Amino acid sequence: MERRTIAPRPGRRPAAEGRGRTGPPHGDESAYYVFSRPEVEALAEAVEELHAMCLAAAGYLVEHDRLADLGITDPRLAALVTEAWHRRAELPSLYGRFDLRYDGSGPARLLEYHADTPTSLVEAAIPQRRWARDRFPGADQWNSLHERLVDAWREQARLLPRDSPVHFAHAAGAGSGEDLRTVAYLRETAERAGLATESVSVQDIALDRLSRRFVDTRLRFIRSCFKLYPWEGLTTDRFAPYVLETLDNGGGTGSTRWIEPVWKMLLSRKELLAVLWELYPGHPNLLPAHLDGPREQAGDAGGGVLDAWVVRNEAAGLGIRESPDRATDERTRFVPHVVL
């Protein structure tokens, strides 16, 4: 892996400025990263192994009744998560994002798995592909996100109600620009797969008291809904009892099927990192983590993060975010890459 500088494309500034902490990463065309094909193949292999390990850890927690270790303490919610896990063939995962520490000189290390509501998807899927096409015609890029997402929606289609659209919900309000962009893009990939769709904000979803079902602003039943809104929020806000009561959890019951499914809570909690270290101590792609607090010192994670994407259980692409600080924050910039 090598970082190189380059002149931005004509009409493009080196980096966009002025966005706030909750905005999307700034696109920076003044630099790019070069990967060799063996590096990309090794990273993809590591990502798919990490994903498999996360699924194994989720199964272990369900089997040993340890959902409380993830903060899932409500008995009703725990029962629904467990049921959904056992029905995951009917409730497949769509996508997720691994945040990795990687410097090109050793194995990639897992920092976090954003398995429920990952963003920075648009930057990884579309703009950097166009950049590579313009700057390095004929070169490769680890980026099959768009095609894989369309294929994933085709697979989802056979499991969703056929007589109603898929609603795409995002949280409205200040700082929601990146969420809106992500949801709009995922809606586009669903439409390319042939699904009928509708847009709705989370705040506009209402409960019809008579039927005890969720409806949109036109009072149509919401039978399936992709939501860029974490399950932790859906299961704790004032509508939480109705979310659990109406949950389509497979098996032909319930009135609303949510995407991602509720079993993704097993993968989206930071406590999962400690469970992974417990099950795979010393694994080269993990950093030490413990439920009772830090012990080993993992060193400085640096200010750069690889976003490795998974779509339907397969490694699907790469994005890179840089920050001048140790943590990615409002000054984070998205930097493209090529495989040469």
Annotated domain spans of the chain: 2-339
Within 8 A by CB and 6+ apart from 280, the residues are 53, 286
Does residue 185 register a pLDDT over 80?
A: yes
Strand partners, 15: 28
How open is the CA angle 7-10-14, to the nearest 5 degrees? Answer: 45
pLDDT (tens digit per residue) in 85-102: 999 999 999 999 999 999
Question: Stretch 244-268: mean pLDDT, rounded?
Answer: 94
The pLDDT of residue 295 is: 78
Q: pTM for the whole thing?
A: 0.92
Q: Rounded CA gap, 256 and 158, in Å?
A: 16
**Mean pLDDT along residues 140-168:** 96
Q: Which two tokens stand for residue 160?
A: 């969703």
The confidence band for 162, taking pLDDT boundaries of 50, 70 and 90, is confident
User: Residue 297: helix, strand or coil by DSSP?
Assistant: coil
Q: What are phi and psi of 85, to 5 degrees?
A: -60, -45
Which pLDDT score, from 0 to 100, does residue 42 have?
A: 96
Q: How confident is the model at residue 19 (pLDDT cuts 50, 70, 90)?
A: very low
pLDDT recorded at residue 175: 62
Chain length of the chain: 340
Q: Which of 289, 319, 282 is nearest to 144 (CA)?
A: 319
Predicted local confidence at residue 299, as pLDDT: 53
Amino acid at 339: V
322 has pLDDT over 60: yes
**What gap in Å lies between CA 334 and CA 30, rounded to an integer?**
11
Per DSSP, the three-state class of 311 is: strand
